[in-house]
Amino acid sequence: MTDSIASAATCPSREAEIVAALGQRQIVLVGMMGAGKSTVGRRLAARLRLPFTDADTAIEEAASMSIPEIFENHGEDYFRAGEAKVIARLLEGGPAVLATGGGALTREETRRRIQEKGISVWLKADADIILRRVRRRADRPLLQTPDPAATIDRLIAEREPVYQHADLTIWSRDVPHEKIVEECLDALHARLCDGDRAGVAGAA
Ligand code: S3P
């Protein structure tokens, strides 16, 4: 057997190491609207061969209504209560990649649950990128304001102090999504697996 075949047979891939180290936890993507949580999350899940769930989609299914309809018919507080319940349920589902809505962390109970059951990854994006991306769609009720740019600035200022407690931060910018996914995998591996490796090396 050649060296390369031998090492391929004995060394688990970076992705397999991440999944093994994750155990029952979930990888939870957090950050502003338009940061790319769903797009990156879906690709990250595929790379790790884990299920992908999108909290916004699950909320819409649970309510049998679109998010704009929930906001219009019941208001933001009702939406946030439903969002907290749905995320709590999804976090019980075992290893997965979960994309959360941009305001999910504004609830203390959701922050606590994510900390307990997940490893959080903040996809951090600049206001101009967010604005450019969200302009393509009109389905964000919080941005239906006379000045969406000012609204985004306000939401970033309010939320960044919360996002910055995430376990990992990845800069979401205008590069191919696969690059962001690679950076997530690198950061997850360093966080979840390098400690183990140091332990093994120390024991040798
Ligand atoms: C919201 C973000 C949206 C959605 C809802 C509220 C927010 O999700 O949950 O419109 O408060 O930032 P995305 O971040 O996936 O767009």
For ligand 1, whether the C-beta of 33 sits within 6 Å is: yes
For ligand 1, whether the C-beta of 118 sits within 6 Å is: no
Query: Residue 149 pLDDT more than 70?
Result: yes
Query: Parallel, antiparallel, or unpaired for β 52-54 and 168-171?
Result: unpaired
Distances in Å between the alpha carbon of 122 and those of 28, 112, 117, 143, 171? 8, 15, 16, 21, 8
Going by alpha carbons, the residue nearest to atom 15 of ligand 1 is 101
Q: 82 alpha carbon to ligand 1 midpoint, in Å?
A: 13
Contact 26, 117 (CB under 8 A): yes
Query: Residue 201 pLDDT more than 50?
Result: no
Q: Which of 52, 98, 140 to mutate to test the pocket of ligand 1 (most atoms within 8 A of CB)?
A: 140
**CA–CA dist 101, 29 (Å, integer):** 9
Rg, the chain, Cα only = 19
Sheet holding 168-171, edge to edge: 52-54, 97-99, 26-30, 118-124, 168-171
Distances in Å between the alpha carbon of 184 and those of 150, 166, 191? 29, 13, 10
Q: What is the mean pLDDT of residues 116-139?
A: 93
Going by alpha carbons, the residue nearest to atom 8 of ligand 1 is 101
3-class state of residue 165 by DSSP = coil
pLDDT-derived band at 111 (thresholds 50, 70, 90) equals very high
**CA–CA dist 123, 116 (Å, integer):** 20
**CA–CA dist 125, 153 (Å, integer):** 12
Going by alpha carbons, the residue nearest to atom 10 of ligand 1 is 140
Whole-prediction pTM value? Answer: 0.91
Q: Which atom from ligand 1 is nearest to the alpha carbon of 54? A: 15
Q: Which atom from ligand 1 is nearest to the alpha carbon of 56? A: 9
Q: Which of 54, 56, 77 to mutate to test the pocket of ligand 1 (most atoms within 8 A of CB)?
A: 56
**CA–CA dist 131, 138 (Å, integer):** 12
Contact 180, 40 (CB under 8 A): yes
Q: What is the DSSP letter of 23?
A: T
pLDDT-above-70 percentage for the chain: 90
